[in-house]
Amino acid sequence: MNEPTPDTTGEVSAESLSDDSPSASQRRHHFKAIITRTSPRVTTLAMGLAFFIVAVGPAAAQSQVGDVYCNTGVATGIDLVFSAVAGLGLPATGYYTGKAGLSYMRAGGNPEKQNEAKEKLVMSGIGFGIVVLALVSPELIDKIGSQMGFGFSDCVKPF
């Protein structure tokens, strides 16, 4: 058989292919040459898009995301997690906000203690924001998704 000879760039020349249908090894070699010439960014983007299409395809076919989880442990777990975030997170952030406020008031004129108290107050405010965002985000996603044509199933909505 007439084996193709790669030139200096690694490509298979057209005159070295004698028959119309290339063999599997010739196709592999040609594919490998194409892959090695492509930049890593293009390869990463292509693989990411392929993964995204494969992962989102079944979910896009459903009108209500989460129907599969109804009456299972997943729905119960979602309820437990959101109840714990609301039941423990909100009082904890309230406690730390109050504690930081009191320490700021007791700092008097000491700038070092005031700065520490301000830092604690800012951190507790950020924590409160994270807890509130965690509780509100599923509802926001559901509202936006319902305008786009999909929504969460009633069994996976936390509140």
Largest CA distance in the chain: 93
158 in Cβ contact with 78 (< 8 Å): yes
* Residue found under tokens 């509202």: 143
**Confidence check: pLDDT of 156 > 80:** no
β-sheet bridge partners, residue 64: 151
What are the tens digits of pLDDT across the range 90-127? 899 999 999 999 999 999 889 999 999 999 999 999 99
Compare 76 and 15 and report the one with higher pLDDT.
76
Confidence of residue 1 (pLDDT cuts 50, 70, 90): very low
What are the tens digits of pLDDT across the range 33-73? 777 777 778 878 888 888 777 766 555 555 555 666 677 77
Q: What is the pLDDT of residue 79?
A: 79
Q: Which segments of the chain does DSSP mark as H helices, in order?
A: 24-37, 40-61, 73-84, 90-106, 111-148
Q: What is the pLDDT of residue 99?
A: 94
Q: What is the pLDDT of residue 135?
A: 83
- Of 123, 129, 121, the residue nearest 104 (C-alpha): 121
CA 44 – CA 60 distance, rounded (Å)? 23
pTM: 0.50
Q: Which amino acid is at 101?
A: G
Q: How far is CA 32 from the centre of its chain?
A: 31
SS3 state at 116: helix
Compare 75 and 102 and report the one with higher pLDDT.
102
Kindly state the tokens that stand for 107. Answer: 């700092």
CA 49 – CA 80 distance, rounded (Å)? 34
Percent with pLDDT over 90 in the chain: 21
Angle at 59 between CA 53 and CA 61, to 5 degrees: 95
Q: What is the pLDDT of residue 122?
A: 93
**What's the chain's Rg over C-alpha atoms?**
29
Q: What is the pLDDT of residue 21?
A: 61
